[in-house]
Amino acid sequence: MDTPLPLRRSRPGLYASLLPPLIWMSLLYFVPIALLISYSIWRLEAFDIVKEFTLSNFRTIATNPSYRTVIGRTVATALGVTLIDVAIALPVGFFVAKYGGRYRSLLTILIILPLWSSYLVRVFAWKIILGYNGVLNSALLLVGILQEPSPVFLYNQFSTMLTFVHVWLPFMILLW
């Protein structure tokens, strides 16, 4: 008995449904990236952009030690946040997937819950916790570890990494 071959039909409806997100991504992602790249190869003269091809901006970045320091610190922070998030997310994601059982949905909601608040709210919450008159300083004063509030917990590499680890951790857990 011959089995019929499946019919191959083109799906114009599928391609039409992909068109709005493609236009959206083009306008809000690809166009700004193209503008950024074009600005990077144009000359800057007294705060005016002159549309003349040059690689002097890249030469400045490569030769100025201040730029190298900032780029190095940024890359180190991003790498540190990524490694810490992986170290936390891998076991949590594995546990939820393997042993979540009937609580898997609840655990997933608890992981997604921080994403329901704004990015700025989560960052500002860490400022409130780590600030001069924040929760951490108040607790350390109450326990007697500090005699007066300390500004050391905020505006440093540690607080930046802690905040970014908290912000990106749900995404990393969901990735696993």
Which CATH number fits the domain that encloses residue 100? Answer: 1.10.3720.10
Helices (H), 100-146: 104-112, 119-130, 135-143
Q: Quote the CA–CA distance of 95 and 144 in Å, as a whole number.
A: 38
Domain final residue pick, 42, 63, 84:
63
Alpha-carbon dihedral angle through residues 16, 20, 21, 23, given to the nearest 10 degrees:
120
Same domain, 133 and 174: yes
What DSSP state is assigned to residue 8? -
Q: List 48's β-bridge partners, or say none.
A: 45
Enter the pTM of the model. 0.70
Domain of residue 52, residue span:
11-63
* Residue type (1 letter), 19: L
**How many other CB atoms sit within 10 Å of the CB of residue 154?**
19
Same domain, 104 and 58: no
Instruction: Let me know: does 157 contact 77? Beta carbons within 8 Å.
Output: yes
Express each pLDDT in 53-90 by its tens digit: 988 888 988 899 999 999 999 999 999 999 999 999 99
> Count of domains in the chain?
2
Residue 136, in any domain of the structure: yes
Low-confidence ranges of the chain (pLDDT < 50): none
